[in-house]
Amino acid sequence: METTNQIVMVFGTFDSLHAGHENMLLQARTIAKKLINPLVVAIVARDKTVKQIKGHATENDEKSRVQALHETGWADMVLIGDKKDKYMHIKKYRPTIIGLGYDQFAFTLQLEKLIIDLNLDGKIVRLKPYRPDIYKSSLIKEKNDQTPIVPIDTTSFELKRLEPVQK
């Protein structure tokens, strides 16, 4: 007898991964623990979609963003958004929960109607922000753009072996 996975699906750009992204996916994982045979599935936005929504290109291309997120292990599956149908993965995987970030509003107005039209037994959950004053991609990018790169003279450093901290 094959058991079907119940899916918590999240969406994002996932550019320059940070603690806010990790927290978002940890929240999704916490929700998933209440489901039967759960999977956390992250959908990474296409470069073209990001440019349409945010008005600028990403720091990292879509393939790099998918690979970087996959390597974190924060999600069980990492998929790239469909080129033609922004809701294709919802239609295909039929998630039990759609987790939206606190600041995600693009494409969300049609989600409730889509859930009804697809006869999904699912719901939309708005995930909580994690230190949005610090861990918001646009703020991190702005800060990085303003931070001057200063060359470091490494000849003056003395390398020492670090000892583990005792608990």
- Give 2-35 pLDDT, tens digit per residue: 568 999 999 999 998 999 999 999 999 999 999 9
Q: Does 153 map to a domain?
A: no
Per-residue burial over 27-40, b if 16 or more Cβ lie within 10 Å, else e, is bbeebbeeeeebbb
Q: Does 165 map to a domain?
A: no
What domain count does the chain have?
Answer: 1
pLDDT at residue 119 in the model: 94
Is residue 79's pLDDT more than 60?
Answer: yes
Here the tokens at position 66 are 């998918």
Exposed / middle / buried, residue 76 (Cβ in 10 Å: 0-12, 13-18, 19+)? middle
Number of alpha carbons in the 13 Å side-chain half-sphere of residue 26: 9
pLDDT at residue 132 in the model: 72
- Give 84-111 pLDDT, tens digit per residue: 999 999 999 999 999 999 888 877 788 9
Residue 22 is part of a domain; what is its CATH number?
3.40.50.620
pLDDT at residue 3 in the model: 62
